[in-house]
Amino acid sequence: MLLSPEDLGAIWLTLKLASLVTLLLIVLCTPLAWWLARTQSWLKGPINAIVAMPLVLPPTVLGFYLLLLLGPQGSVGAFLGQIGFSALPFSFAGLVVASMLYSLPFVVQPIQNAFIAIGTKPLEAAATLRSSPWDRFLYVALPLAKPGYISAAILGFAHTVGEFGVVLMIGGNIPYETRVISIQIYDHVEALEYGQAHTLSLLMMAFAFIVLAFLYGNQKRQKHHVVAGGVL
């Protein structure tokens, strides 16, 4: 099973992309999920819906709209250009942004639900123990929301690895820069190089399986430290 340097490059790029996207998403989604979990504002419904919106479009089409938006003619692209950013399309940074947008709901939702499940009691207890909002968020809410974070990380990571349409559009399939492994496999399939496609797919699934099985295995039934002899 020999991998070409291009395959290796794609694997490396994929890992880098998926890790970075997952990490950034978790950081960025945390305040959003927190707000969504606690707010009584009427904005909650609409914002939740907006978060899920990118899902509804076919990825390549979403990619096309992103191209329009981020291109020199697009409102966002023009603005970024003005403040001195280099263009996002066809760059690794662009891949990161696009993947984040597309995997957003899979990270927000589990975290949000985990925050909801905590309720107010532990936070109230912390507040009476001189724990500031920030402190109680870090030391009470976050640890209690751990299962949600694991779910979010898994879904976000896996979805970014497999994501393809958006990445293809925004990335421009540049070897060693934006050609991730999913594009590489896709190319093999389209070029009828089925043997290479199988090899890469298998490799990817095996790797993912090991990572995920490990992550899940570590996800304990945190809520209830096993009751001696408990039956339910």
Partner 1 sequence: RALHLAVASNFIAPIKQLAMEFQQETGNDITLSFGSSGKLFAQIQHGAPFDIFLSADVAKPEALIKNRLAEPNSLVIYAKGKLALWSVHPMTGSLEDVLQRAHRIAIANPKLAPYGKAAKESLMSLSQWDTVKTKIVQGENIGQTYQFVYSQNADIGFVAYSQVLAGDIKGDIIAIPSQRHSKINQAAVVVSQSKNKELAKQFMAFLMRPDIQTKIARFGYSTAAD
Partner 2 sequence: MNLPTDNMLCVQIKQPATSQSSFSLDVDLLLPSTGVTALFGASGSGKTTILRHIAGLNISQHSHVSLNNNIWQSAGGSVPPHKRPIGFVFQEGNLFEHLTAEGNLRFAMKRANTGSSIIAFDEVIELMNIRGILTQFPAQLSGGERQRVAIARALLIQPQLLLMDEPLAALDETLKQDILPYLEALCHRANIPILYVSHSLDEVIRLADHMVVLEKGKVTEQGAVHSLLGKLGTSFSRYQDASVVISGVVTKQEKQWGLSWLEFDNQTIAFKQGNESINDTIRLRIQSKDVSITLSKDNHSSILNHIEAIVDETERDPQDPSTIRVRLLAGNTPILAKVTALSAHRLALKKA
Residue 172 to residue 203: CA distance in whole angstroms: 24
Instruction: Decide: residue 201, CB within 10 A, 0-12 exposed, 13-18 middle, 19+ buried.
Output: middle
Please report whether residue 7 would count as binding partner 1 according to CB under 8 A: no
Is residue 232 within the footprint of ligand ATP (CB under 6 A)? no
* Contact pick of 34, 35, 64, 207 for partner 1 (by CB under 8 A): 64
Q: Strand, coil or helix: what is 177?
A: coil
Cα–Cα dist 6/68, whole Å? 29
The reply to whether 93 sits near partner 1 by the rule CB under 8 A is no
Which part of the chain contacts partner 1 (CB under 8 A), choosing from 67-75, 110-118, 206-214, 220-228? 67-75
From the list partner 2, its own copies, ligand ATP, none, which binds 93 (C-beta under 5 to 8 Å, kind-based)? none
Positions that interact with partner 2 (CB under 8 A): 121-122, 124-133, 135-136, 139-140, 143-144, 146, 222-232
Please tell me the distance from the alpha carbon of residue 98 to that of residue 102, in angstroms, as a whole number. 6
Interaction partner, residue 208 (its own copies, partner 1, partner 2, none; CB < 5-8 Å by kind)? its own copies
Residue 147 sits in the site that holds its own copies (CB under 8 A): yes
Residues between 169 and 228 with contacts to its own copies, criterion CB under 8 A: 182-183, 185-186, 189, 197, 201, 204-205, 208-209, 211-214, 216-217, 221-224, 226-227
Q: Is residue 227 close enough to count as binding ligand ATP by CB under 6 A?
A: yes
Q: Shortest gap between Cβ of 24 and its own copies (angstroms)?
A: 19
Closest CB to ligand ATP among 121 and 130?
Answer: 121
- Nearest distance from residue 100's CB to its own copies, in Å? 16
Interhelix angle 92-118/44-56, nearest 10 degrees? 140
Of 104, 80, 115, the C-alpha closest to 21 is: 104
Of 123, 119, 96, which is closest to residue 177 (Cα–Cα)? 96
Beta strands in 91-202 (DSSP E): none
Interface with partner 1 (CB under 8 A), residue from 93, 186, 199, 215:
186
**Rounded to 5°, angle at Cα 208 from 28 and 18:** 30
Measure the CA–CA gap between 59 and 80, rounded to whole angstroms: 23
